[in-house]
A and B are shown apart, each in its own frame.
Chain A
């Protein structure tokens, strides 16, 4: 059915060798991905407040709608109608460009991720590199927000968090290198395909320490507690977001949640077998869970990682800035480099049960 729709668009818009039709189809695919993502993001805020509420023996939002289920929409409308305040002597163009630069990479990164077998917007050969390249562009949102606000706290927050982000990008890059070496591909589709065949074939077993490092790196990259030094309410008021209100602030907020969802997805694709069922190859259970679609498995695994964000946020106090830096450069970096050598040797010599 989809193929016939594609053909129909090509017949209706035949100009430029069907180039315009291609663009239209990509836009439709993108919208079909972004709308569910926005709903998911809205209900993640609700889930976060509920989960942390229960962990702290509170109820969480329960006034708007049944069980407070309409709370995200109330928040969205509040944000939409709030006044946007520009600090005096701030650079207005850069001030407004900053949230856009934070939000666009958070969405653009979804263009190449596979959500199931043959279920993606684009299947490019270097998709993992694309993910890392576009992910690194997101730093500019924070840099510019701190610089353009013309205020002390945003500048401090931006300075320390940019230093942190570019440091932890190295660690995440090294972790991904180990996965790439085992899968011998930088294509996300191939990485997932190489993990097919049940829960024991996923990379979280041979690369368990790498997965822990990856997840801590993901917490830093998404500015989540206990590493949320960009905001650090108790230290620098609200960090880069201090001067932002209304929709520009909402864009920062959405970018953070999009990044969170994306990092959870990347963890699933890299270490938890993507959309594969955990019961593949197990005689009885495989048939029993045959009916579950790929996407449900993917979302199920992702929601575990999303829950981890909230769990960790409710459990740990905030790290001190120099301790996070020390953790990156003196602990994780040597650790991952040693692991790269180990994994390279094992894959090359064919040692170990999983390589």
Chain B
């Protein structure tokens, strides 16, 4: 057995195993951590397929940014697990039905032929000097430049929409004017009060 196939089986085992544990896990934070392990295993599998740029981007974006925000939400929300799980089994028949449809669809698509080794052929093996990132950049900025730009504009619109949704109503948060705070002078903060000298007599 080749060493890369052993690596493939190890990573696949981690991939399937961690995604399974992620689903059955009762603790939300632990489920998020298992999902991170799933991402890492997927990235390792992509590395075996010589897609190192995609693999590292997966870790950079999903593990480094998206899942951190997930953890944020998990920390901020005090979810009562018992109420969430009270009516859980009610949706079980529907869930089984939907997952069966998905499984059938995937088997049909994957067995249909376009993904066969005979039709697609074995992908070309590249040497150590082959630069994956250069190849992607060349494709992205020449052949697919318009779809790329369109995707960028879509994302920009999404950002603007999200910001306008947040600021739709009057903002109630207390804001600090930092430039005013920095430029504050001593005379703005301190007040000299003149107290009469003979005021001590009255207190007696």
Contact = CB atoms under 8 A, between A and B. Distances in A.
Interface of A: 16-20, 22, 91, 93-94, 97, 124-126, 129-130, 132-134, 136-137, 139-140, 143-144, 146-148, 155, 158-159, 162-163, 166, 169, 186, 322-323, 326
A165 to B, nearest CB: 8
Given A17-B2, A17-B3, A134-B59, A147 B71 contact: yes
Given A159-B75, A322-B176, A129 B68 contact: no
A143 B133 CA distance: 32
Contacts of A166: 64-65, 68-69
Contacts of A20: 3
Interface in B24-73: 27, 29-30, 33, 36, 52-53, 56-57, 59-60, 63-65, 68-69, 71-72
A140 B133 contact: no
Contact of A129 (B27, B56, B63, B65): B56
A130 B68 CA distance: 18
Nearest to B4: A19
Nearest to A170: B65
A61 B53 CA distance: 47
A309 to B, nearest CB: 24
Contacts of A17: 2-3
A91 B29 CA distance: 10
A238 to B, nearest CB: 19
A185 B29 CA distance: 38
B3 A129 contact: no
A126 B50 CA distance: 12
A22 B16 CA distance: 27
B99 interface: no
Contacts of B68: 136, 139-140, 143, 162, 166
Nearest to B1: A16
B178 A140 contact: no
Contact of A155 (B53, B59, B75): B75
Contacts of A125: 52, 131-133
A197 B6 CA distance: 45
A136 B60 contact: yes
B6 to A, nearest CB: 7
A163 B75 CA distance: 13
Nearest to B64: A136
Nearest to B133: A126
B127 to A, nearest CB: 12
Contacts of A93: 30
Interface string B72-87: 1011100000000000
B57 A129 contact: yes
Contact of A143 (B1, B3, B30, B75): B75
A176 B123 CA distance: 33
A137 B58 CA distance: 12
Nearest to B70: A143
A130 B56 contact: yes
- Nearest 7 A-B pairs (CB), nearest first? A136-B64, A19-B3, A133-B60, A16-B3, A133-B59, A129-B56, A143-B71
Contacts of A158: 75
Contacts of A22: 3
Contacts of B30: 93-94
Contact of B64 (A18, A91, A139): A139
Contacts of B27: 91
Nearest to B175: A322
B60 A129 contact: yes
Given A133-B56, A137-B59, A147-B75, A94 B36 contact: no
A132 B36 contact: no
Given A147-B29, A322-B178, A124 B64 contact: no
B63 A136 contact: yes
